[in-house]
Amino acid sequence: MDFTFNEEQSLIQDQVDQFVQKEYDWETRQALSNSDLGFGIDNWKKFAELGWLGISVSEDNGGYGGTAIESMLIMEAFGKGLVVEPFLETVIMSASLIDDHGSDQQKSSVLEPAIAGEMQLALAYAEPQSRFNLSDLVTEAKLDGDNYILNGYKSVVMNGPSANKFIISARTSGTQLDESGISLFLVDSDSTGLDKTDYKTVDGRRASDLSIENVSVPKDNLIGQQDKGFEILDSAIDKAILAISAEAVGAMEVLYKTTVEYTKTREQFGTAIGKFQVLQHRMVDMFMEYEQCKSLLYMATMKHEEGSPDAKKAISGLKYQVGKAGKFIGQQAVQLHGGMGVTDELNVGHYFKRLTTVGTIFGNTDYHLKKYTSL
């Protein structure tokens, strides 16, 4: 398995790294996170100009035609700066899904403005009772003439406040836990009967809960085939796990390096605490956890890209390790920084919050360990 990046991939990596280092300092990030919108619209336009918003969309549909590797490189760099722009939600989770499974009309109406930075998207799949089970759905869609009528509730829809369109999963047949009978619909955010409750999440992002009451959706807004949406949704979540794991790896790198530098300057008993052997051992453990995650990330991404039969197992193994390592590295970073490690003024606590959130999104360590052993 070759982990060497080609010239184009290296250029993308350098380009995103430079953006984060030069234009996304900590004060800028905090100002964007605390703004009404929750991210920078100028940054979003710049992402469009640089072609990043089309990275996972095929060339036939106006995108870059990139693979999961290019998305991984972008997300890893974003993790280093805790970038709050909704790249994961719009590009990885939604635009890629439309590109793979949408109709020609859906592709033309959604992908072009999304790639141009003129449309925000969000995938509404989770429900209060579903936990991490994608097939646990009570939201229903019933065909009525030329329209589907949707009723139900969606929770923690990432990027919900800014989304112009939602991809909503709903049950068109079967019982609550059946994998068959799930369909996906493209729904305008201003549809009659669709009410949003917006809020800020613990990691500084934005999300919404959706109340769906007799929302009428044209038949043409069905994505893929009726009752066949589970496979599409499952594939989209796999891509999202790879992307968010890459973001976590970037965040882990910053945390362990920041901690090492701090221990070189903080003194106790007249000497830098970084010279204490027990603390050196802790930081080595942090480094090893980070390196294990990075190796698993590369392996899982390559297996997914190659269509390997054990790709799903590799993805669950990665998500388990990311959850475990993120918790360990975050806790050690906070401990070694002392009380200021959890203050809003220092970035350490914010990286810890994001890693904690990443550990839960799309399945926590217990869920993916169980899934890994069953595959």
Checking if the pLDDT of 57 tops 90, the result is yes
pLDDT band at 52 (very low <50, low <70, confident <90, very high): very high
Which ranges in the chain belong to alpha helices (H)?
7-23, 26-33, 41-49, 68-81, 87, 96-101, 104-115, 229-265, 277-306, 311-337, 347-360, 365-374
Beta bridge pairs of residue 166: 122, 187
Domains of the chain: 7-118 (1.10.540.10), 122-227 (2.40.110.10), 231-374 (1.20.140.10)
* CA dihedral for 23, 26, 28, 33, sign (positive or negative): positive
**pLDDT value for 259:** 94
Helical packing angle, 347-360 and 229-265, nearest 10°: 150
DSSP, collapsed to helix, strand or coil, labels residue 109 as helix
Higher pLDDT: 298 or 274? It is: 298
Give the span between the Cα atoms of 68 and 244, in whole angstroms.
12
Segment 35-43 mean pLDDT:
97
Reported as a single tens digit per residue, the pLDDT across 216-274 is 999 999 999 999 999 999 999 999 999 999 999 999 999 999 999 999 888 788 888 88
Reply yes or no on whether the pLDDT at 61 is more than 90.
yes
State the average pLDDT over residues 286-312: 96
Q: How confident is the model at residue 283, as a pLDDT?
A: 95
Question: What average pLDDT score do residues 67-79 get?
Answer: 97
Average predicted confidence (pLDDT) for the chain: 96
Other CB atoms within a 10 A radius of the CB of residue 104 amount to: 8
pLDDT score at 165: 98
**What distance, in Å, lies between the first and last C-alpha atoms of the chain?**
22
Per residue in 142-198, pLDDT tens?
A: 999 999 999 999 999 999 999 999 999 999 999 999 999 999 999 999 999 999 999
What is the model's pLDDT at position 2?
67
Please, which residues have CB within 8 angstroms of residue 294's CB and are 6 or more apart in sequence? 249
Q: How confident is the model at residue 15 (pLDDT cuts 50, 70, 90)?
A: very high
pLDDT band with cut points at 50, 70 and 90 for residue 68: very high
| Residue that the structure tokens 């970038």 belong to | 83
Phi, psi of 246 (to 5 degrees): -65, -40
pLDDT at 79 over 70: yes
Digit-coded pLDDT (tens) for 86-130: 999 999 999 999 999 999 999 999 999 999 999 999 999 999 999
- Closest alpha carbon to 326 in 258, 257, 248: 248
* Structural contact between residues 314 and 303, judged by C-beta atoms closer than 8 angstroms: yes
CB proximity list for 307: less than 8 A, separation 6 or greater: none
